[in-house]
Structure 1
Amino acid sequence: MQHPQSQPYELTEDRAGTGAARVLVVDDDPTVAEIVTGYLDRAGYLVDHADDGPGALTRAAAHWPDLVVLDLMLPGMDGLEVCRRLRGHAPVPVIMLTARGDEDDRILGLEVGADDYVTKPFSPRELVLRVESVLRRSRPAPAAQSLSTAGLTLDPTARRAARDGVELALTLREFDLLAFFLRNPGRAFGREDLMREVWGWDFGDLSTVTVHVRRLRAKVEEDPARPRLIQTVWGVGYRFEPSGREGVA
């Protein structure tokens, strides 16, 4: 990664009140933190920084972020626990950073609710694009029509969803995935299709889709081990079947 011109990575107060999105960067590596916050600052974001888990929770409590860039490996309290605690307080999009390319680490991050992950070393410009993509999809849809089927109701404008009248605690990507399925009942989609249509990416790790489907099933299915709404179409991908009839695919 090229090192940008030196930038302070405390909160950039001069942008307060401008409507800029606030991003909390949590990383104990000073060089990585300076590079990431520098790029995000120049991209127009309000940037906070913390170098450990307790500090991240304190920063978030003082100024709740619109998005968190969170290192997986932190001293004392790891990124997984920080993510759990943040999500326990209120929904917030999270992009996880990991120094290891091991698939188990990536899946762990997704399992606790991370919306995306980036493996170190990474391109700071790519990270900024990922931040922009996640924030863009987290904004309420303008006067979008509510969806209702199979006991599920979804309000895209308020970004709220419920099952049999009980509100669902969905992450950003889970909400988008459910909305896409409800808008396209009875159609089979490959993981590549879902990556492109829901994530807005033409490339990426397809295990991201698999993990999010599994998490969504756990929240909308009566028996996630035998899903009737979000069905697997072998050799293709997934299909949303509002009737709940078991498919033969």
Structure 2
Amino acid sequence: MQVEHSNAPSLLVIDDDIELCGMLRSLLEMEQFAVTMRHDVASGLAEALSGRHRLVVLDIMLPGGDGRTLLRDLRARLPVPVIMLTARGEATDRISGLEDGADDYLAKPFNPGELIARIRAVLRRHAPPVPADIIVVGDITVEVAHRRALRDGASIDLTSAEFDLLVVLLRRAGDCVTRDDLSQQALGRPIGPVDRSIDNHMSNLRRKLGPHADGRERIRNIRSMGYCYTGSPHG
């Protein structure tokens, strides 16, 4: 029975060896992959073209054709990564498979751990890039990973503490953030009873950012509570 994993990477195995497919299903599902099996060229190609799978494990010898033809057809229509899994381990076959567009090649009999490692390596290579953590509130853009703040596209010269305070405020734009939360999250320490560092940093930050284009104050001081960045995040 096929096991469904709602958040698991979906793999397609195309191989006519039913016994091997059973072993692969057990192995891959233990590693938290969702697995679909097909056993011939026609059904294998149709399933691969469905776009449901993160990676295809493909045998080179199949009923109704061969894996290399399937690979070439697939490559012409969909950029899904493919690992060739076959008993034909000669160098010429490996080279041909790679030239036809295979991402990796593993000969039978194989070490199960090596197959898992190769699958994970190929998936990592094909993983979409992680977008930079970018916060946009009105005319202010903060690129967190690059520690850069912009106003209308122009860079703002901030100290490290000012930058961290701005990030905390923007993430909660429109809400009042207490002085203690600001100190804990931006400065990494609780605020003391006579500690004015947050207020001093905020004074400098407000001066550097300036008011909104319509003249409204950008950062409000909520008496006895904390500070609020006036605006709502939209990015």
Q: TM-score if structure 2 supplies the norm length?
A: 0.53
Q: Matched residues in 1 for 2:79 and 2:131: separation?
A: 21
Contact 2:49 2:74 in 1 (8 A): no
Deviation digits for residues 101-126 of structure 1 (CA, Å, limit 9, x no counterpart): 21111111001100001000001221
- Counterpart amino acid of 1:116? D
Asked whether 1:139 is paired with 2:119, we answer no
Asked whether 1:100 is paired with 2:88, we answer yes
- Counterpart amino acid of 1:22? S
Unaligned runs of 5+ in 1: 1-7, 145-249
In the TM superposition, residue 32 of structure 1 has moved relative to its aligned partner by 1.2
Q: Secondary structure at the match of 2:61?
A: coil
Contact 2:71 2:101 in 1 (8 A): yes
Choose the corresponding residue for 1:74, options 56, 62, 74: 62
In the TM superposition, residue 98 of structure 1 has moved relative to its aligned partner by 1.7
Contact 1:52 1:75 in 2 (8 A): yes
Closer/same/farther in 2, CA of residues 83 and 76 from structure 1, 3 Å limit: same
Q: Secondary structure at the match of 1:24?
A: strand
Contact 1:98 1:105 in 2 (8 A): no
Q: Matched residues in 1 for 2:25 and 2:76: separation?
A: 25
Q: Matched residues in 1 for 2:83 and 2:89: separation?
A: 15
Q: Which residue of 1 aligns with 2:186?
A: none
- Counterpart amino acid of 1:33? C
Choose the corresponding residue for 2:12, options 17, 21, 24: 24
- Counterpart amino acid of 2:40? D
Unaligned runs of 5+ in 2: 133-235
Q: Matched residues in 2 for 1:55 and 1:90: separation?
A: 16
- Counterpart amino acid of 2:74? L
Q: Which residue of 2 aligns with 1:118?
A: 106
- Counterpart amino acid of 1:122? F
Contact 1:95 1:118 in 2 (8 A): yes
Asked whether 1:58 is paired with 2:46, we answer yes
Contact 1:28 1:51 in 2 (8 A): yes
In the TM superposition, residue 62 of structure 1 has moved relative to its aligned partner by 4.0
Query: Within 5 A, what are the aligned runs for 1:1-249?
Result: 8=1, 10=2, 12=3, 14-15=4-5, 18-62=6-50, 64-143=52-131
In the TM superposition, residue 143 of structure 1 has moved relative to its aligned partner by 3.9
Q: Matched residues in 1 for 2:49 and 2:86: separation?
A: 24
Contact 2:13 2:38 in 1 (8 A): yes
- Counterpart amino acid of 2:93? D
- Counterpart amino acid of 1:108? S
Contact 2:84 2:105 in 1 (8 A): yes
Q: Secondary structure at the match of 2:105?
A: strand
Larger gyration radius, structure 1 or structure 2: 2
In the TM superposition, residue 65 of structure 1 has moved relative to its aligned partner by 1.2
Q: Secondary structure at the match of 2:79?
A: coil
Contact 1:35 1:124 in 2 (8 A): no
Q: Which runs of 4+ in 1 moved over 4 A?
A: none
Deviation digits for residues 112-143 of structure 1 (CA, Å, limit 9, x no counterpart): 10000100000122111111111011112224
Q: Aligned-pair RMSD on alpha carbons?
A: 1.6
Percent identity between the two aligned chains = 45
Q: Secondary structure at the match of 2:69?
A: helix
